Structure 1
Amino acid sequence: MKIKVKNLGTLEQAEFILGDLTIICGCNNTGKTYATYALFGFLFTWSKLFLIKIDDKKIEELLSDGVIRLDLQEYVNQVDHIVTQGCIAYTQELPKIFAASTERFRESKFQVELDSQNIVLSKRFKSEIGSGEVSFFSITKSEESTELVVTLLVEKEKVKIPVKIIERIITDALKEIIFDPLFPRPFIASSERTGAAIFRKDLNFDRNRLIEEISQAGQNIDRIELLLKDYGDYALPIKTNVDFIRQLESIVKKSSFIADKYPDVLADFADIIGGEYAVTRNDELYYQPKGRRIKLSMDESSSAVRSLLDIGFYLRHEAQLGDLLIIDEPELNLHPENQRRVARLFARLVNLGIKVFMTTHSDYIIKELNTLIMLNHEKPHLKRIAKQEGYRQEELISTENIKVYIAEVADIKLEGKKRKTKCQTLTAADIDPEFGIEARSFDTTIETMNRIQEAIVWGQD
Structure 2
Amino acid sequence: MKVKIANLGAVEKAEIDLKPLTVFIGGNGTGKTWTAYTLASIFGRHGFDRYWKSYVNNKTQNRYPIIDNAIEKFLQEGNVNIDLIRFVDEYTDIYINDVAQLSPIWMKQFLSTESIDFKKMQISFDLSTTKHQIIENIRKSNIERKFSFGSQGEEYLSIIKELDEIYIYFNLVSKKDILKTVSKKLLREILVQEVFQIIHRAFYSYVYIFPTERTTFITFPFFIKKEVIKRENSNIAISEISEPDIEQIISEQENRQRSKKPSEPIQNLISILANAYIKTSDEREEEICNSPEIAIYIELAKLLEEHILQGRIDFNQPGLEKEIIFQPSDNIKLEISVTSSMIKELAPLVLCLRYLAEPDELLIIDEPEMNLHPVAQVEIIEFLAMLVQSGLKVLITTHSPYIVEHLSNLMKAAKYEDKENIKKRFYLERTEAFIPQENVSVYLFENGTAKNILNEKGRIDWGTFGDVSDDISHIFP
TM over 0.5: yes
Does residue 20 (structure 1) correspond to residue 20 (structure 2)? The answer is yes
CA distance in structure 2 between the partners assigned to 1:404 and 1:242 by the alignment: 29
- After superposition, residues 293-308 of structure 1 pair within 5 angstroms as 293-308=331-346
CA distance in structure 1 between the partners assigned to 2:219 and 2:312 by the alignment: 16
CA distance in structure 1 between the partners assigned to 2:256 and 2:26 by the alignment: 41
1:307-359 deviations in Å (ceiling 9; x for gaps): 11111101111111111111100111111111111111111110000011100
8 Å CA contact 2:24–2:444 kept in 1: the answer is yes
Report the TM-score when normalising by structure 1.
0.81
Could you say which residue in structure 1 is the equivalent of 2:215?
Answer: 194
Could you say which residue in structure 2 is the equivalent of 1:419?
Answer: none
Give how far 1:113 is off. Answer: 3.3
8 Å CA contact 1:72–1:146 kept in 2: the answer is yes
Does residue 438 (structure 1) correspond to residue 468 (structure 2)? The answer is no
- After superposition, residues 410-425 of structure 1 pair within 5 angstroms as 424-425=448-449
CA distance in structure 2 between the partners assigned to 1:70 and 1:201 by the alignment: 42
> Could you tell me which amino acid in structure 1 is paired with residue 314 of structure 2?
A
- After superposition, residues 314-329 of structure 1 pair within 5 angstroms as 314-329=352-367
Instruction: Name whichever of 132-141 and 8-17 sits farther off.
Output: 132-141
- After superposition, residues 256-405 of structure 1 pair within 5 angstroms as 260-261=295-296, 263-271=298-306, 272-279=308-315, 280-282=317-319, 283-290=322-329, 293-379=331-417, 383-387=420-424, 389=426, 391-405=429-443
Match of 1:245 among 273, 277, 283: 273
CA distance in structure 2 between the partners assigned to 1:209 and 1:41 by the alignment: 23
8 Å CA contact 2:75–2:184 kept in 1: the answer is no
CA distance in structure 1 between the partners assigned to 2:195 and 2:81 by the alignment: 12
2:265 aligns to what SS in structure 1? helix
Match of 1:97 among 95, 110, 114: 110
8 Å CA contact 1:11–1:30 kept in 2: the answer is yes
Could you say which residue in structure 1 is the equivalent of 2:139?
Answer: 122
> Could you tell me which amino acid in structure 1 is paired with residue 356 of structure 2?
E
Give how far 1:406 is off. Answer: 0.3
Change (3 A) 1:439 1:135: farther
Instruction: Name whichever of 179-188 and 272-281 sits farther off.
Output: 179-188
Give the paired residue count: 420
CA distance in structure 1 between the partners assigned to 2:367 and 2:139 by the alignment: 37
> Could you tell me which amino acid in structure 1 is paired with residue 203 of structure 2?
L
Change (3 A) 1:83 1:192: same
Change (3 A) 1:328 1:252: farther
> Could you tell me which amino acid in structure 2 is paired with residue 62 of structure 1?
F
1:7 aligns to what SS in structure 2? strand
Structure number with greater Rg is 1
Could you say which residue in structure 1 is the equivalent of 2:100?
Answer: 87
Does residue 67 (structure 1) correspond to residue 57 (structure 2)? The answer is no
Give how far 1:157 is off. Answer: 1.6
Could you say which residue in structure 1 is the equivalent of 2:47?
Answer: 46
Give how far 1:39 is off. Answer: 1.4
CA distance in structure 2 between the partners assigned to 1:270 and 1:147 by the alignment: 42
8 Å CA contact 1:351–1:397 kept in 2: the answer is yes
Change (3 A) 1:94 1:383: same
Q: RMSD of the TM alignment (CA)?
A: 3.0
CA distance in structure 1 between the partners assigned to 2:92 and 2:425 by the alignment: 50
CA distance in structure 1 between the partners assigned to 2:378 and 2:366 by the alignment: 16
Could you say which residue in structure 2 is the equivalent of 1:429?
Answer: 453
8 Å CA contact 1:10–1:29 kept in 2: the answer is yes
Give how far 1:167 is off. Answer: 1.7
1:62 aligns to what SS in structure 2? helix
Unaligned runs of 5+ in 2: 56-62, 224-247
8 Å CA contact 2:71–2:191 kept in 1: the answer is no
Percent identical residues: 25
Change (3 A) 1:58 1:359: closer
Change (3 A) 1:27 1:59: closer
Give how far 1:278 is off. Answer: 2.2
1:82-131 deviations in Å (ceiling 9; x for gaps): 33332222221111111112752232223333338645252444433224
Change (3 A) 1:427 1:266: same
Instruction: Name whichever of 113-122 and 32-41 sits farther off.
Output: 113-122
Give how far 1:379 is off. Answer: 4.5
CA distance in structure 2 between the partners assigned to 1:22 and 1:36 by the alignment: 10
CA distance in structure 1 between the partners assigned to 2:3 and 2:34 by the alignment: 13
Could you say which residue in structure 1 is the equivalent of 2:177?
Answer: 157
> Could you tell me which amino acid in structure 2 is paired with residue 129 of structure 1?
F
2:365 aligns to what SS in structure 1? strand
CA distance in structure 2 between the partners assigned to 1:53 and 1:2 by the alignment: 23
Unaligned runs of 5+ in 1: 214-230, 410-423
Report the TM-score when normalising by structure 2.
0.79
Could you say which residue in structure 2 is the equivalent of 1:413?
Answer: none
CA distance in structure 2 between the partners assigned to 1:355 and 1:149 by the alignment: 30
1:122 aligns to what SS in structure 2? helix
8 Å CA contact 1:4–1:111 kept in 2: the answer is yes
Give how far 1:154 is off. Answer: 1.3
